[in-house]
Amino acid sequence: MIFDSYEAYRAANFTPKVCILGSGPAGMTIARKLGAAGIPVVVMEAGPREFSDESQDFYRGSTVGDFYFDLDITRLRL
């Protein structure tokens, strides 16, 4: 299930045993393995369903030391 708000999540009365922060490759892999084992899991994600400049602005930043690409173009927050 995907909930668009905390209120919708609460109304579902779902009680997870594990909470995973972030739906990146590692978080989703762990969630799927636990779910397949019958362990109730919730995955919390900060970004919206669709790309937005406002959400992506959280990734703006700079690196120090070795050259690396701009942080807001190497990661997507959605």
Calpha distance 33→58 (Å, rounded): 30
Residues 73 and 41 in one domain: no
Is residue 36's pLDDT more than 90? yes
Residues 31 and 66 in one domain: no
Look at residue 43 in the predicted model and tell me its pLDDT.
92
Helix ranges (DSSP H) in 1-78? 6-11, 25-36, 53-56, 71-74
Look at residue 16 in the predicted model and tell me its pLDDT.
94
| Number of structural domains the chain divides into | 2
Residue 24 belongs to what domain range?
A: 1-45
Over range 51-61, report the average pLDDT: 84
- Per cent of the chain over pLDDT 90 is 40
Is residue 77's pLDDT more than 80? no
Residues 70 and 56 in one domain: yes
- Per-residue pLDDT band at 29 (split at 50, 70, 90): very high
16 versus 54: which is more confidently predicted? 16
Residues 39 and 74 in one domain: no
Distance of CA 52 to the CA centre of its chain: 15
Which helix H or strand E contains 33, and what residues bound it?
Answer: helix 25-36
